[in-house]
Amino acid sequence: MSVDPTSMSTPATAATQTTNQGATLGKDDFLKLLTAQMANMDPMSQSSSDPSQSMQQMTQFSILEQLTNLSGSSSDTLSSQKQTQALSLLDKTVSYTDSNGEDASGLVKKVDFGSDGSTELTLDSGIQITPGDVLGVS
């Protein structure tokens, strides 16, 4: 018995509908699905999909991969820029707002980079601040 999927419809109800809120497909998942689809495709069959659809899917994957690479590259560049800016504050006097809400200043003597991407500036007084705390440089 063959069933035409376009002629029958079953409304989704709360009992039959399931969703995974945190589920997203990444580029690796997309590649696995595309590979499985292509492995099970018979190019000589009358019912096989149009070859241009396969090319469209490969093009979409290529675009997805390049966008992912570009995003990673942009993140790396931004991180490097932030580190360079923090290092440029060495031996400079910075003004900031201290924990009491008062304006203060100090000479940057050390810059620390955390493994989590955080940056801390150590002043000549021993106080540690973040680059985001800096109000001005003189």
| Topology classification of domain 52-138 | SH3 type barrels. (2.30.30)
pLDDT tens-digit series, residues 30-77: 778 777 877 777 666 666 566 677 678 778 878 888 888 888 888 889
Q: Is 12 left (phi over 0), alpha (psi -120 to 50) or beta?
A: beta
Q: What is the pLDDT of residue 7?
A: 47
Buried b (16+ CB within 10 A) or exposed e, 49-59: eeeeebeebee
Count of alpha carbons within 13 angstroms of residue 70, beta-carbon side: 6
Using one digit for the tens of pLDDT, what is the confidence trace for 81-112? 999 999 999 999 999 998 888 999 999 999 99
